[in-house]
């Protein structure tokens, strides 16, 4: 059993990543922390609370940073909708967020179980950067740190920057400069995880989960011009899947530096695979697609059969 703490900005693909984590018997979700990203914190936090109750999860949710370290907030509401979940409206959660700030929740949770917590970040890295600044030993205490972000080819926020990195490049720089070895799931990998019509056929029959969440969310997400040809890329679930089944992925050691000052390249994850480079990360390059979708479908089936 692996214990996972998920920092996210739900967000449609974040919602599927949460379902994957919940539906996987290999994982115990010890907490969810929210950050401003796809939409503002005033949406990502209630979205996380509503999603956990919709799925039937009893997991603390702690709210985090409502803006990047230095830059003005940006959103991806054109991709995820004004609410962050497309046109899906879930029941308002009964639970309140944890009383702690996400940064303190992350530090407390990891410090209480050194070597046991898989920290997975699938939104802008503001919370993780602040946690590292407040408690630098976080980098040695985590079991692993897995991040959905970046790209070693082109971005989606700009030609150079992927959204999670480009939304808060200074935070991403703190995170990649810390003394740990992030496992980076950039767009090069996540664009191999497309929810095609063939894949989505596997979700038919999942009842309320399919009808009230998966189908409307994937319809909305897939309508975005960047996904129209092959179906939406389920970015965030890739990072969670690596915690469950790392054997589904090919990863390569590399040097990753985050550009923070380029006029056209700010937020770029400058990735050097050269053997002589001073490697500081593992970068995911290939996905076993069939096995990935088997994993997701089985997890969604478990969620669907246990939902309230
Ligand atoms: O670029 C994709 C990433 O940005 C995903 O995490 C998506 O949820 C958005 O946050
Ligand atoms: Ca996200």
What integer best gives the mean pLDDT of the chain?
97
142 CA distance to ligand 1 centroid (A)? 23
Beta carbons of 70 and 167 less than 8 angstroms apart: no
Average of per-residue pLDDT across 29-47: 98
Q: Is 285 exposed, middle or buried (0-12, 13-18, 19+ CB in 10 A)?
A: middle
* 165 alpha carbon, closest ligand: 1
3-state secondary structure 276-297: CCCCCEEEEEEECHHHHHHHHH
Average of per-residue pLDDT across 66-78: 95
Virtual torsion, Cα 269, 274, 279, 280, nearest 10 deg: 10
Minimum CA distance residue for ligand 1 atom 1: 163
Beta carbons of 128 and 171 less than 8 angstroms apart: yes
CATH number of 65's domain: 3.90.245.10
% of the chain residues with pLDDT over 90 = 97
**Which residue segment(s) compose the domain that 88 sits in?**
2-306
Residue of 15, 10, 213, 274 lying closest to 124 (CA atoms): 10
Residue to mutate, 11, 154, 168, ligand 1, most ligand atoms under 8 Å from C-beta: 11
Q: Residue 229 pLDDT more than 90? A: no
Ligand 1 atom having least distance to the Cα of 10:
8
Give the pLDDT confidence of 192-205 residue by residue, as tens digits. Answer: 999 999 999 999 99
Q: What pLDDT is attached to residue 254?
A: 98
pTM value surpassing 0.75? yes
Ligand 1 atom having least distance to the Cα of 12:
8
Q: Residue 101 pLDDT more than 90? A: yes
Q: What pLDDT is attached to residue 19?
A: 98
Confidence of residue 236 (pLDDT cuts 50, 70, 90): very high
- How many domains does the chain contain in total? 1
Q: What pLDDT is attached to residue 151?
A: 98
Q: What pLDDT is attached to residue 174?
A: 98
Q: Residue 225 pLDDT more than 90? A: no
Question: Where in the sequence numbering do the catalytic residues fall?
Answer: 235
* DSSP states of 100-158: S-HHHHHHHHHHHSTTTEEEEE-S-SHHHHHHHHH-TTHHHHSSEEEEE---SS--SSS
Q: What pLDDT is attached to residue 238?
A: 98
Q: What pLDDT is attached to residue 284?
A: 98
Q: What pLDDT is attached to residue 175?
A: 99
């Amino acid at each position: 059993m692996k214990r996972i703490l998920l920092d996210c900005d739900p967000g449609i693909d974040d919602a599927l990543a949460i379902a994957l984590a919940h539906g996987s018997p290999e994982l115990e979700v010890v907490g969810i922390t929210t950050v401003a990203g796809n939409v503002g914190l005033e949406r990502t936090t209630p979205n996380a609370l509503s999603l956990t109750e919709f799925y039937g999860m009893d997991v603390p949710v702690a709210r985090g940073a409502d803006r990047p370290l230095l830059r003005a907030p940006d959103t991806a509401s054109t991709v995820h909708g004004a609410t962050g979940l497309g046109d899906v409206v879930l029941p308002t959660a009964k639970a309140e967020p944890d009383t702690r700030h996400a940064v303190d929740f992350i530090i407390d949770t990891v410090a209480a179980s050194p070597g046991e917590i898989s920290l997975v970040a699938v939104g802008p890295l503001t919370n993780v950067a602040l946690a590292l600044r407040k408690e630098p030993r976080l980098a040695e205490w985590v079991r692993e740190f897995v991040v959905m972000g970046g790209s070693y080819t082109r971005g989606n926020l700009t030609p150079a920057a992927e959204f999670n990195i480009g939304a808060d490049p200074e935070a991403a720089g703190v995170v990649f400069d810390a003394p740990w070895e992030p496992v980076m799931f950039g767009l090069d990998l996540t664009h191999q995880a497309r929810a095609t019509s063939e894949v989505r056929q596997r979700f038919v029959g999942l009842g309320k989960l399919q009808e009230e969440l998966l189908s409307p969310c994937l319809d909305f997400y897939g309508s975005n011009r960047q996904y129209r040809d092959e179906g939406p890329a389920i970015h965030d679930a890739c990072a969670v899947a690596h915690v469950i089944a790392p054997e589904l992925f090919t990863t390569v050691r590399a040097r990753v530096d985050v550009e923070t000052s380029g006029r056209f390249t700010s937020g770029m994850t400058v990735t050097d695979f050269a053997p002589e480079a001073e490697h500081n990360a593992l970068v995911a390059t290939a996905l076993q697609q069939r096995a990935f979708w088997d994993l997701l479908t089985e997890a969604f089936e478990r969620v669907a059969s246990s939902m309230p």
